[in-house]
Amino acid sequence: MAASPCITTQFIAIDDTTRRGLVVYEGSNCKSPLMPSMPAFSDTPTDHKFYTNITGLSTKSNPHLNPCPRSVDKHLFMIFGLNLASCPQITTCLGPFGSRLSASMNSESFVLPGGGMSLLEAFFKGASGIYTTDFPDKPLVEFDYTNQSISVDKSFFYAPKSTKVRKLKFNSTVEIVLQNTFLVGIENHPIHIHGFNFYVLAQGFGNYNPTRDEAKFNLVNPQMRNTIAVPVDGWVVIRFRANNPGIWLVHCHIDAHLPWGMTMAFEIENGSTPSSILPPPPADLQSVNCLCSWSLQEFVNQWLISFSGYYLDSQNDEETQSERVKNLTVERLCNRHVITAVNGSYAGPTIRVNEGDTLVVHVLNNSPHNITIHWHGIFQLLSGWADGPAYVTQCAIRPKHSYTYRFTITGQEGTLWWHAHSSVLRATVYGALLIRPR
C-alpha cells in the first residue's frame, strides 16, 4: 500500500513524501512487492474518480442506517471561495493589493459572535443581537462560478462580514448544492457539517445544472459522510434530515478558511415533544467573557502550542476520560518546538467506547490558550452543548479552567476523531475515537 498527498493549491509548500505500508500474509513467498504507480499530486480527475466510485452500505446490512429521503422540504444552493478584506488602519497586510485574506459562503464572510455568549446559548435563551437568521438560500448574484477569469475580477474580491445562520424547521429534509468557485484562489474545499451525517447524491465538474445533473443522483446506496471534498471546478449535492435542534456549524475544514469566513450555521428549531427540544446547558458552561478575539497574530502563534493527562474508567456503560491540556516540548526534524498536546502525548490518547455508551470527558486547560474540543462526526443528538466549536456551542475553556463534555453515542460505529476547535490548535490537539459495536 502506498499513499501520497493530493494538493490542489498553487505556491504552497507540501510534504511530498510517499508513505508505504507492507502487509505480509502467512505463507507468502513474495520478497519484493512491486511499488504501485502513483498519480501526480494535483491529479484531480483520479482523486475524483476514486471518491465517486464509493457507495454506501445497504440499510439491510447496517441497522443504524436509514434510507435516503426521497422528498425534499428545503433546497439551498451554496457557493464558496476565497476573498479579500480591507486592511485595518495602522496595519500592514501582506495579501494581494495590500489586503488581508478572507473567505465566504454565498457572498457572506462569517465572523464568530462577540456579544458575550455563544450562538447556542443565544438560541436557547432567545437572546437577540448575537446573530441573524437571514443567511441567503442562494448566491446574491449568479455568475459563471467556474470561469477562471473571475479570479482576477475585483468586483468579486470583497464580501461583507456577518454572523448569519439559516433557520430550518425540525425534521425537515434539506438538499444542498455545494458549488466550488474560482474566486481569488483555486482549491478543493472539504465542507463539514456538525451534528449530522448527510447523503452524497452526486458529484461533478463545472457549474451545477439541475436539468442535466439530477439524473446522476444516487438515491439507492449513496455515500453517507460528515465531510465532503468539493473538487476544484466542481460541485456536490447532499441531502440530510434536520432532526437535531440547536445551532450546527457548516464550514471548510482547512484550518485557515474557518476564521477567514468560509462558514455558516444552521439554526434548527425545537420540535413539539420533550424528546425533540434542546435541554438546558450543563452547570459548568462558561458564558463569562465569551468574546471572540481571533487575530492574524494569534492565528500564526497558535501553531506553536500544546495539551496534556489521561485516565479511563469504564463502568455502567459510561466511559470517563480526563484530558489535561498544557504546553509540551517536542523535537521534530532536529528542531525543538513548544506545542499544545493532550495528556503529554502527540497525537493525543485514543478513546475507545461501545455504541450506546455515554462518554464523559473532563477537560482541564493547563495551557496558556483558550481551548475547546469537537467530537468530529458525532451526531450529538440533544447534546449540542458538547459539540465543541468555540463561540458557537460554548465559550472557550479559559486557561486554568475546565469543562465536562457528556454525550451518548447512539447509532454510530467505526473510527471517528476528536480535535481542538479553537484557532488552529487542531494541528497538535487531536486523537482517535473508536466506537465498537454494542
Domain CATH for 420: 2.60.40.420
pLDDT at position 333 is 56
Encode pLDDT of 303-313 as tens digits: 222 233 332 23
Taking residue 327's Cβ as centre, other Cβ atoms within 10 Å add up to 17
Burial group, residue 40, by CB count within 10 angstroms (0-12, 13-18, 19+): exposed
| Burial tier of 310 (Cβ tally within 10 Å: 0-12, 13-18, 19+) | middle
Look up the domain containing 256 and give its range. 74-276
Q: Which of 276, 306, 328 is the last residue of a domain?
A: 276
Domain presence at residue 417: yes
Do both 229 and 308 map to the same domain? no
In a shared domain, residues 214 and 323: no
> 145-150 long-range contacts, Cβ below 8 Å, gap at least 24?
145/79, 145/179, 145/180, 145/181, 145/182, 145/207, 146/180, 146/181, 146/182, 146/205, 146/206, 146/207, 146/233, 146/234, 147/182, 148/182, 148/186, 149/182, 150/181, 150/182, 150/183
The verdict on 312 and 403 lying in the same domain is yes
In this prediction, residue 310 carries a pLDDT of 30
Q: Which three cell numbers stand for residue 79?
A: 457557493
CA geometry: angle 82, 84, 85, nearest 5 deg: 135
261: alpha, beta or left? (left if phi > 0; alpha if psi -120 to 50): left
- The pLDDT, as a whole number, for residue 291 is 59
What pLDDT is stored for residue 301 in this prediction?
A: 26
**pLDDT recorded at residue 77:** 98
pLDDT score of 312: 28
- Considering only the C-alpha atoms of the chain, give the largest distance between any 2 of them, rounded to a whole number of Å: 70
What is the reported pLDDT for 431? Answer: 95
- On the CB side of 405, CA atoms within 13 Å amount to 28
Partners of residue 229 on adjacent β-strands: 190
Q: What's the domain count of the chain?
A: 2
In a domain, 66, yes or no: no
Which tens digit of pLDDT belongs to each residue from 218-261? 999 999 999 999 999 999 999 999 999 999 999 999 988 999 99
| Beta-carbon contacts of residue 227 (< 8 Å; ≥ 6 apart) | 190, 191, 192, 193, 253, 377
- Strands 161-162 and 246-252, by their bridges, are unpaired
In a domain, 207, yes or no: yes
Give the pLDDT of residue 298: 34
In a domain, 286, yes or no: no
Residues of the chain with pLDDT under 70: 10-12, 58-59, 61-64, 286-323, 330-334
Residue 58 domain flag: no
